[in-house]
Amino acid sequence: MDVQAVLKLADELVFSKTGKHLEYLQEAILRGAIEDRKYSQIAEEFHLSEGHIRDVACELWKILSNVLEENVSKANVRYILERAKFCNYSAIEKNYGTVNNVNICPQTPQSPQVTQQPQQTPTQLHIDLGDAPEIFSFYDRTPQLATLETWILQERCRLIALLGISGIGKTTLAVRLIDQIKTNFDYVIYRSLRFSPTLDATLTNLLQIFSEKTDIPQNIETQISQLINYLRQYRCLIILDDVQMLFSSGQLAGQYKTGYEDYQLFFKLIAEVCHNSCLLLNSWEKLRKLAKLEKANTPVRLLVLGSLGIAAKEILREHKLSDEDTWETLINTYQGNPLWLEYTATMIQELFGGSVSDFLECDAVILSESLQAQLDQQFQRLTQQELAIMIQLAKENDPVALPQILQAIPLSPSDLLNGMQSLGNRLLLDAKENGKTTFFSLNTVLKKYIKNRYNIVS
């Protein structure tokens, strides 16, 4: 049996009758009942008392009994929903969240109460994408889209971090994801934090979307609890992009700027408190403490976005480049980073008449000024110690282990280790394990950038 489809059916049925979606815990109990798990097991998983789970379950069976017009209990819910699934419930038509008259067919004739029920006030899909970019072309990312969809729709994750170096395609992927899954939500919201809004400003902005009339509380704590209420009441997908702008420059990765520390607590609450929504955070840098929250049995996930791979050929095709047999070399050199490839393709088009072979013959790696300017933004954020490590790694021809780096630069072991960890959190290092030793290196683009900017002669 497709548990997800049955849960979806139950949710639609409940919504059609009550105007409310199943809450996270109700859905978990239902899933548990379908999978024949004990209340005590569900309670343990959610760190709640068995008594509380039984109370919520009792209320849930009442709602379902009312909706399905027969006595529903933990013991028979699976059978009743499966039967309803195979019956004619196709009349449940979702029109941007509006559920029309329900026509399920248990053995009993259709219930006049259900079929003649006046239409519910439609719960419209509210989409507020703010200044999200319009996507004109989108290639591949099929596995990543599938992973995110599973995490959000099936595993009902509450907090997901989408990480990756600038230009790798986080924003594009998030906007494409919205298009793919938006009909599962009551609210879909996108906001960029590129101008570093305070938490107060962000929460005020979000709360206004849910209700223009309500007074927005002044106090952060009340704002957060009001927002969490909305996240419980509605199924929302909120994407906060450019989260790295909340972090300080010149400090180790993921340190909140002064006055922005509240965000950390906000993200933690979104992960830990029970609600029906998902917050997706896009960032260049890992979020501190998130790794601690991210465990298999928690609704928190982290996805690092890497190379676009050979799908990036489409980008080169769009730029009308020639010598297709050499495109893979170009893509590998520029790490499959769509933005780096776009900048480079423009240069090849303008200076080499579109010939990739001619460009590759010129030098192993050439960085256009736009690409370097783009990397400047990321390097400006590094501490002096991090920069010293990057410069040393740029000088190395082969991957090196920590003791070699320590020997080469005058840093204390603790500065070196913290610096390396922070560079890892900024996704700037390539690491490979060989036996018990980890060897570190830089990709060709970063190496070239450092050599250019810091006048390193190889």
**CA–CA separation, 387 vs 69, rounded Å?**
68
Q: How far apart are the first and last CA of the chain?
A: 62
CB of 166 to ligand ADP, least distance (A): 5
Residue with smaller CB distance to Mg ion, 25 or 305: 305
Residue with smaller CB distance to Mg ion, 63 or 308: 308
- Residue 11: φ, ψ to 5°: -60, -45
**CA–CA separation, 117 vs 186, rounded Å?**
22
CB of 142 to ligand ADP, least distance (A): 10
User: What residue is closest to ligand ADP based on CB?
Assistant: 169
The site string for Mg ion over 314-353 (x = CB under 5 A, - otherwise) reads ----------------------------------------
Residue with smaller CB distance to Mg ion, 131 or 212: 131
Residue with smaller CB distance to ligand ADP, 223 or 337: 337
Sheet containing strand 187-192, edge to edge, reads 126-128, 187-192, 236-241, 278-283, 159-163, 300-304
Nearest to 277 by CA among 323, 236, 330, 332: 236
Binding site for ligand ADP (CB under 6 A): 137-141, 164, 166-172, 308, 315, 338-339, 342
Residue with smaller CB distance to ligand ADP, 39 or 340: 340
- Per CB under 5 A, 392 contacts Mg ion: no
CB of 306 to ligand ADP, least distance (A): 11
Residue with smaller CB distance to Mg ion, 113 or 377: 377
CB of 65 to ligand ADP, least distance (A): 47
Nearest to 316 by CA among 296, 293, 332: 332
Residue with smaller CB distance to ligand ADP, 88 or 380: 380
Which strand (E) or helix (H) includes residue 440? Answer: strand 437-441
**CA–CA separation, 342 vs 364, rounded Å?**
18
CB of 280 to Mg ion, least distance (A): 12
DSSP string over 100-159: -------SSPPPHHHHTPPPPPP-PPEEE-TTPPPPS-----HHHHHHHHIIIIIS--SE
- Per CB under 5 A, 192 contacts Mg ion: no
Which strand (E) or helix (H) includes residue 358? Answer: helix 356-362
Among Mg ion, ligand ADP, none, the one that 138 touches (CB under a kind-dependent 5 to 8 A) is ligand ADP
Provide CB contacts within 8 A for 97, sequence distance 6+: 122, 123, 124, 125, 183, 186
CB of 314 to ligand ADP, least distance (A): 7
Residue with smaller CB distance to ligand ADP, 159 or 175: 175
CB of 145 to ligand ADP, least distance (A): 10
**CA–CA separation, 347 vs 219, rounded Å?**
51
Residue with smaller CB distance to ligand ADP, 17 or 426: 426
CB of 176 to ligand ADP, least distance (A): 7
C-alpha angle 192-198-201 in degrees, rounded to nearest 5: 80
Q: What is the longest distance spanned by two Cα atoms in the chain?
A: 84
Residue with smaller CB distance to Mg ion, 6 or 174: 174
**CA–CA separation, 4 vs 35, rounded Å?**
11
Among Mg ion, ligand ADP, none, the one that 342 touches (CB under a kind-dependent 5 to 8 A) is ligand ADP
Among Mg ion, ligand ADP, none, the one that 141 touches (CB under a kind-dependent 5 to 8 A) is ligand ADP
CB of 440 to ligand ADP, least distance (A): 23
Among Mg ion, ligand ADP, none, the one that 167 touches (CB under a kind-dependent 5 to 8 A) is ligand ADP
The site string for Mg ion over 132-171 (x = CB under 5 A, - otherwise) reads ---------------------------------------x
Q: How far is CA 175 from the centre of its chain?
A: 11
User: What residue is closest to Mg ion based on CB?
Assistant: 171
Among Mg ion, ligand ADP, none, the one that 137 touches (CB under a kind-dependent 5 to 8 A) is ligand ADP
Provide CB contacts within 8 A for 178, sequence distance 6+: 127, 129, 132, 188, 190, 237, 239
Q: By CB under 5 A, how many residues form the interface with Mg ion? A: 1
**CA–CA separation, 335 vs 333, rounded Å?**
5
For Mg ion, the binding residues (CB under 5 A) are 171
